[in-house]
Amino acid sequence: MNAFTMHGGTLHAENVPVRNITNEVGTPCYIYSKAALESAWLAYDKAFGDHPHLVCFAVKANSNISVLNTLAKLGSGFDVVSGGELERVIAAGGDPSKVFFSGVAKSREEIAFALQQGVRSINIESPAELERVQSVAVEVGKVAPISVRVNPDVDPQTHPYISTGLEEAKFGVSMQASLHVFQQAKAASHIEILGVACHIGSQITTITPFVDALERVISLVKTLAEMDVDIKHLDLGGGYGIVYNDETPPSSQEFMQALLDTLAAADIQLPISIEPGRSIAGNAGILVTEVAYLKENTEKNFAIIDAAMNDLMRPSLYGAWHTISPVTPPQEGTPERVYDVVGPVCETGDILGRDRLLAVEAGDLLAIHSAGAYGFTMSSNYNTRPRAVEVLVNDQYWATIRQREKTSDLFALETVIDW
Ligand code: LLP
């Protein structure tokens, strides 16, 4: 669903005029739609049909506890990559027994915390990590449920920074090496093998790489069965890509059906989990910003906005496209020009959108779309900029779910030493 649409000439978030929100909380401001989060999660859940499954939201995409709580209430599981994310899930009312814990360098403290909380699976990313999990499990007197994250060496044809399933990536272990890790796990006193985990990358807009990866995982499961290693679960990693501009990703239904068909063809009935982040939260959020100044030099027109790369890093980091649209139509006579939409941060790369045709004046509001995933979570305080306020909309209601930081918050943990 598209929760951000124009009504009566002004952009609404569900049934709330965006301007009503920014009049109270200011800009830059992240706005999320509860209905859009819910409908995207439910579409995945439904697409599995009767197949035993768990849809685990990838917390790294959007970790606001109100967002997590919205999904937890639907019965969502969660994919976490740090003890901090697990704490957030618990604070949000999520069920730790529906949590999968990934990440290449889990600390002893994080592993102990995860075991005490009773997570569903710790996803092992190296033989050394398996040894660490075994030793922590002995220490805390628990048996650790684990999956081994394998690297199927499939090219997901996405941005190199978000490709994870190639042999050259730091994630997971190769198919071949995983055989040894599973044997090591089987022999360990405090380890229980749950399954195989695999994640090949993010913002993938074709089904083929997912199916290729699953076929390789299936052949691994068969080899493991011959070695007397019983696999009880498959964790198939993140979801499909979303529309930022002109991409044509599959629907949840097409995506899941392709995976279920691949399993059925191999006569595999195992329960599966999937860890979508972007395709649940991405188009459920916008970043609203005000045009601070218009400026031109000999080469370019600039619309300088009050949001910057520290608020939304994706354009600077990946050259990612985010659609930028006016919140209200331009005043009569406002000229249409091609602008670079830039932020106030002192970096040439602080560009939120290049060469955008806009009719804007200073003081106008702009919406930066598809910002609900990897937006706020990747934001920083660079240039001592307080992070943006976050708002959740529910039909005609809205509430602040994270206050704008105050400048004093940013140096509250610092000390002046009188040397
Ligand atoms: N599971 C694992 C193990 C992951 O590493 C990721 C994402 C996901 C699930 C969720 O994938 P998704 O459904 O969101 O595609 N900051 C980048 C994206 C990094 C993704 C990292 N891993 C961006 O803004 O494009």
Cβ of 283 below 6 Å from ligand 1: no
Cβ of 27 below 6 Å from ligand 1: no
**CA 282 to CA 374: how far, in whole Å?**
8
Instruction: Read off the pLDDT of residues 269-315 as tens digits, 9 standing for 90 and up.
Output: 999 999 999 999 999 999 999 999 999 999 899 999 999 999 999 99
> How would you classify the pairing of strands 191-198 and 389-394?
unpaired
Closest CA to 75 of 29, 49, 38: 38
Give 240 Cα–ligand 1 centroid separation in angstroms.
10
Mean pLDDT of the chain: 95
Cβ of 172 below 6 Å from ligand 1: no
Cβ of 202 below 6 Å from ligand 1: yes
pTM: 0.96
pLDDT tens per residue across all 419 residues of the chain: 899 999 999 999 999 999 999 999 999 999 999 999 999 999 999 999 999 999 999 999 999 999 999 999 999 999 999 999 999 999 999 999 999 999 999 999 999 999 999 999 999 999 999 999 999 999 999 999 999 999 988 877 766 666 665 666 678 899 999 999 999 999 999 999 999 999 999 999 999 999 999 999 999 999 999 999 999 999 999 999 999 999 999 999 999 999 999 999 999 999 999 999 999 999 999 999 999 999 999 989 999 999 999 999 999 999 999 999 999 988 899 999 999 999 999 999 999 999 999 999 999 999 999 999 999 999 999 999 999 999 999 999 999 999 999 999 999 999 999 99
Please, where in the chain does CATH 2.40.37.10 lie?
4-32+282-410
Question: Closest ligand 1 atom to the C-alpha of 202?
Answer: 15
Is residue 346 annotated as a catalytic residue, yes or no?
Answer: yes
Please, where in the chain does CATH 3.20.20.10 lie?
34-281
pLDDT score for 383: 98
Question: Closest ligand 1 atom to the C-alpha of 275?
Answer: 9
Closest CA to 199 of 231, 232, 172: 172
**CA 305 to CA 269: how far, in whole Å?**
52
Instruction: Among 41, 106, 202, 252, name the best residue to mutate to test ligand 1's pocket (greatest count of ligand atoms within 8 A of Cβ).
Output: 202
Give 197 Cα–ligand 1 centroid separation in angstroms.
14
Q: Nearest residue CA, atom 9 of ligand 1? A: 238
Instruction: Among 41, 57, 60, name the best residue to mutate to test ligand 1's pocket (greatest count of ligand atoms within 8 A of Cβ).
Output: 60
Instruction: Collect all residues with Cβ–Cβ distance below 8 Å to 104 and sequence separation of at least 6.
Output: 125, 126, 129, 170, 171
Give 132 Cα–ligand 1 centroid separation in angstroms.
25
The CATH fold of domain 4-32+282-410 = Lyase, Ornithine Decarboxylase; Chain A, domain 1 (2.40.37)
Instruction: Read off the pLDDT of residues 145-178 as tens digits, 9 standing for 90 and up.
Output: 999 999 988 877 766 666 665 666 678 899 999 9
Cβ of 279 below 6 Å from ligand 1: yes
Cβ of 370 below 6 Å from ligand 1: no
SS (H, E, C) the chain: CCCEEEECCEEEECCEEHHHHHHHHCCCEEEEEHHHHHHHHHHHHHHCCCCCEEEEEEHHHCCCHHHHHHHHCCCCEEEECCHHHHHHHHHCCCCHHHEEECCCCCCHHHHHHHHHHCCCEEEECCHHHHHHHHHHHHHHCCCEEEEEEEECCCCCCCCHHHECCCCCCCCCEEHHHHHHHHHHHHHCCCEEEEEEEECCECCCCCCHHHHHHHHHHHHHHHHHHHCCCCCCEEECCCCCCCCCCCCCCCCHHHHHHHHHHHHHHCCCCCCEEECCCHHHHHHHEEEEEEEEEEEECCCCEEEEECCCCCCCCHHHHHCCCCCEEECCCCCCCCCCEEEEEECCCCCCCCEEEEEEEECCCCCCEEEECCCCCCCHHHCCCCCCCCCCEEEEEECCEEEEEECCCCHHHHCCCCCCCCC
> What distance, in Å, lies between the first and last C-alpha atoms of the chain?
59
pLDDT score for 154: 85
pLDDT score for 127: 95
Q: What is the CATH number of domain 34-281?
A: 3.20.20.10
Give 49 Cα–ligand 1 centroid separation in angstroms.
24
Residue with tokens 């669903």: 1
Instruction: Among 275, 313, 379, name the best residue to mutate to test ligand 1's pocket (greatest count of ligand atoms within 8 A of Cβ).
Output: 275
Give 175 Cα–ligand 1 centroid separation in angstroms.
21
Cβ of 79 below 6 Å from ligand 1: yes
Give 336 Cα–ligand 1 centroid separation in angstroms.
37
pLDDT score for 6: 96
Cβ of 374 below 6 Å from ligand 1: yes
Instruction: Among 67, 278, 312, 321, name the best residue to mutate to test ligand 1's pocket (greatest count of ligand atoms within 8 A of Cβ).
Output: 278
Cβ of 62 below 6 Å from ligand 1: no
Give 164 Cα–ligand 1 centroid separation in angstroms.
9
Give 201 Cα–ligand 1 centroid separation in angstroms.
7
Cβ of 199 below 6 Å from ligand 1: yes
